[in-house]
Amino acid sequence: MSRALKRTMSRAHPLWLAYILHRLSGLGLVLFLPLHFWVLSLALDQAAQLDGFLALADLALFKFAEFGLVFLLALHMFGGLRLMALEWLPWSSRQKTLAAAAVAGSFLVSVSFLVQAI
Amino acid sequence: MTDNRFDFRLYMLQRLSALLMVPFVLVHLGVMIYAIRGGLSAAEILGRTQGSLAWFAFYGTFVVAVSVHTALGLRAILGEWAGLRGKARDGLSVVIALMLLALGARAIWAVTMGGSL
Amino acid sequence: MSQPVVPSRTRADGEKLSVTLERGGPDGASYRQTFDVPAYDKQTVLDVVSWIQQNADPSVSYRFACRVGMCGSCAMMVNGVPRWTCRTHVSKVAKGGAMELAPLRNLPVIKDLVTDMDAFFDKWGAAEARHHPSQTRDDPIAAIDPDSPERQIADAAIECINCAVCYAACDTVAGDPDYLGPAALQRAWTLYNDAKEADPEAVLDAVTAKGGCHSCHSIGSCTAYCPNALDPVSAIAGLKRASAKRFFGARKR
């Protein structure tokens, strides 16, 4: 590890990790978006091309990448909501922890219901 | 408001575009989980979206908010991590926003209106 | 029965600390120099630097005054982390008998461990972090209820000693030279909530100008490393809240 990275890591703490995850997930989504838009616009020329791509999407590697993107999106959204609550809501840190736990819990429950329903 | 409030107004735009996107992201995630069951096909996607003004409005608004939010986030990163300042940073951010907007608009047109022409 | 005589402060095993200083000035390239320093049972990081300067190399430059955590002049990077060295025990921070000391991050170096703190203090002014009087000396002293919620918020940060540990800890300061930084913004928040402050809107004007509170990403390193356990990141959040409210038309008074 370079000395600069080592020093950065020596200053790391939980909120810093939340910050770096938010920034890196945002960057990841930025890189993905143009590709995502391009794939969808294939439908404009011919649906067969889009189907060809979607067949590719069945591959394990793509499945993994897709899961990663959904994960990045969820991470970035909840990280962002955390940030907005921290900045704009005059709550105590205990109230914020409880709210975050409630949101995360309800998200897990609703996703599991959705996955079971379909 | 004076001009030196520019960055603060961008901050508000960043936060408001984020709040606007929360319901969009939740619906998008829901549709995605629903859509991938049994594999994806162009016919299935287009069958759902083609000719639908509702999906056009939904994803249209989403793409505008995404382009603004993304460009503002990158603007901060370009300043802090790439050391860009002033007009170079603002100009590049605007170019990124317009590029995303154009690509996004083309994608939405393709899946909602394009095929029906 | 006579006990073996051990000097009251030095360690019986004669152990040494290996202390590496980052040295140099603005003109020469910085270099690292390692010193062996006798280990003591109760020893602060500042004690170690003073030992080096007094016994090993009198040309080592560093800054301190009170040695009791009041003056805020002895902060340095200790193993990459900003700390007040006079109240930091070596036993808490040394790793395997070794320690790395460097000048405070995010400030230009004058020489060795001494930084130029002008930018840090100038930003207090830029944040309008100074009192605008609401009365003159001829008026009776205003009665302030110390238990009122507003006073509690104003009181939260008054123990700041201007040591710049938060400024050195902040990654946003590192990336954005315009950013006013945690200490100046925290003081602005204190003034904004002070019942004796005549112009809280001027304070908000200053902290929503270029480099103001909106530049903060709530990383929280300021709060994590403040030696006085203050909470600048929450103070900055307060400024963001107040200025966002004002954006939608609300005024304080």
Tokens found for residue C19: 């202390």
Contacts of C176 in chain B (CB under 8 A): 79-80
More confident residue, A72 or A104: A72
Query: Pick from C220, C219, C212: which is nearest to C239 by CA?
Result: C212
In CATH, which of 3.40.50.11540, 3.30.70.1140, 3.10.20.30, 2.60.120.920 is domain C16-115?
3.10.20.30
Q: What is the DSSP string of C100-140?
A: EEEPPTTS-EEETTEE--HHHHHHHHHTT-S--BSS-TTSP
Please give the backbone phi and psi of residue A106, each rounded to the nearest 5 degrees, phi first: -70, -35
Q: What is the pLDDT of residues C37-95, one digit of tens each?
A: 999 888 999 999 999 999 999 999 999 999 999 999 999 999 999 999 999 999 999 99
Asked if residue B63 lies in contact with residue B103, where contact means CB atoms within 8 angstroms, the answer is: no
Q: Does A96 touch chain C (CB under 8 A)?
A: no
Inter-chain contact A87–C218, Cβ cutoff 8 Å?
yes
Furthest C-alpha separation in chain A: 55
What does the pLDDT read at residue A61?
66
Domains and their CATH numbers in chain A: 3-117 (1.20.1300.10)
Inter-chain contact C244–A83, Cβ cutoff 8 Å?
no
Assign C247 to helix, strand or coil: helix
Residues of A with CB under 8 A from a CB of B: 23, 26-27, 29-30, 33-34, 36-44, 47-48, 50-51, 54, 57-58, 66, 70, 73-74, 77, 80-81, 84, 87-88, 111, 114-115, 118
C109-111 vs C31-38, strand pairing mode: unpaired
Residue of B nearest to A57 (CA): B40
Q: CB contacts < 8 Å between A and B, how many?
A: 89
What's the residue count for chain C?
Answer: 253
Inter-chain contact B4–C210, Cβ cutoff 8 Å?
yes
Contacts of B92 in chain A (CB under 8 A): none
Asked if residue C37 lies in contact with residue C6, where contact means CB atoms within 8 angstroms, the answer is: no
Contacts of C168 in chain A (CB under 8 A): none
Q: Is the dihedral of CA B31, B37, B42, B43 positive or negative?
A: negative
Average pLDDT, chain C: 92
Q: Does A83 touch chain C (CB under 8 A)?
A: yes
Residue C166 distance to chain A (closest CA, Å): 12
What does the pLDDT read at residue A63?
65
Report domain extents, chain B.
3-116
Q: Which CATH number does C118-247 carry?
A: 1.10.1060.10
In three state form, how does the secondary structure of C216-232 look? Answer: CCCCCHHHHHCCCCCCH
Tokens found for residue C167: 């400024």
Task: Please give the average per-residue pLDDT across C128-157, as a whole number.
Answer: 91
Nearest to B79 among C175, C243, C247 (CB): C175
Burial C87-110 (b: 16+ CB within 10 A, else e): bbebeebbeeeebbbbbbbbbebe
A69 CB neighbour count, 10 Å cutoff: 18
- Give every CB contact of residue C98 below 8 A, 6+ residues apart in sequence: C17, C18, C19, C20
Inter-chain contact B8–C172, Cβ cutoff 8 Å?
no
From CA C21, how far away is CA C23, in angstroms rounded?
6
The pLDDT-based confidence of B73 (bands split at 50, 70, 90) is: very high
Which chains are within 8 Å of C by 3+ CB pairs? Answer: A, B
What does the pLDDT read at residue C6?
43
Query: Pick from C159, C162, C209: which is nearest to C184 by CA?
Result: C162
Tokens found for residue B33: 């989980």
Assign C74 to helix, strand or coil: coil
Contacts of C94 in chain A (CB under 8 A): none
Eight-class DSSP state of C212? S
Of the segments C21-25, C49-53, C134-138, which one has the largest average pLDDT value? Answer: C49-53
From CA A87, how far away is CA C225, in angstroms rounded?
20
From CA C140, how far away is CA C181, in angstroms rounded?
36
From CA A68, how far away is CA A73, in angstroms rounded?
9
Enter the ipTM: 0.88
C27 CB neighbour count, 10 Å cutoff: 6
Inter-chain contact A81–B111, Cβ cutoff 8 Å?
no
Residue C250 distance to chain B (closest CA, Å): 15
CA distances from A106 to A96, A100, B23, B95, C37 (A): 15, 10, 15, 39, 57
Q: CB contacts < 8 Å between B and C, how many?
A: 31
Residue C40 distance to chain B (closest CA, Å): 42
Q: Does B95 touch chain A (CB under 8 A)?
A: no
Return the minimum-mean-pLDDT range out of B8-22, C12-26, C36-50: C12-26
Nearest to A43 among B37, B99, B115 (CB): B115
What does the pLDDT read at residue C1?
46
What does the pLDDT read at residue A29?
94
Residue of B nearest to C170 (CA): B80
Res. B100: pLDDT tops 70: yes
Task: Please give the average per-residue pLDDT across A71-84, as a whole number.
Answer: 89
- The edge-to-edge listing of strands for the beta sheet with C81-84 is C31-38, C16-23, C98-102, C75-78, C81-84
Asked if residue C225 lies in contact with residue C83, where contact means CB atoms within 8 angstroms, the answer is: yes
Q: Does C243 touch chain B (CB under 8 A)?
A: yes
What does the pLDDT read at residue C14?
74
Q: What is the DSSP string of chain A?
A: --HHHHHHHHT--HHHHHHHHHHHHHHHHHHHHHHHHHHHHHHHH-HHHHHHHHHHTTSHHHHHHHHHHHHHHHHHHHHHHHHHHHHH----HHHHHHHHHHHHHHHHHHHHHHHHH-
Res. B65: pLDDT tops 60: yes
Nearest to B46 among A43, A57, A88 (CB): A43
Nearest to C80 among A10, A83, A88 (CB): A10
- Give every CB contact of residue A9 below 8 A, 6+ residues apart in sequence: A1
Nearest to B80 among C172, C209, C244 (CB): C172
Inter-chain contact B115–A115, Cβ cutoff 8 Å?
no
Q: Which CATH number does B3-116 carry?
A: 1.20.1300.10
What does the pLDDT read at residue B110?
84
What's the residue count for chain A?
Answer: 118
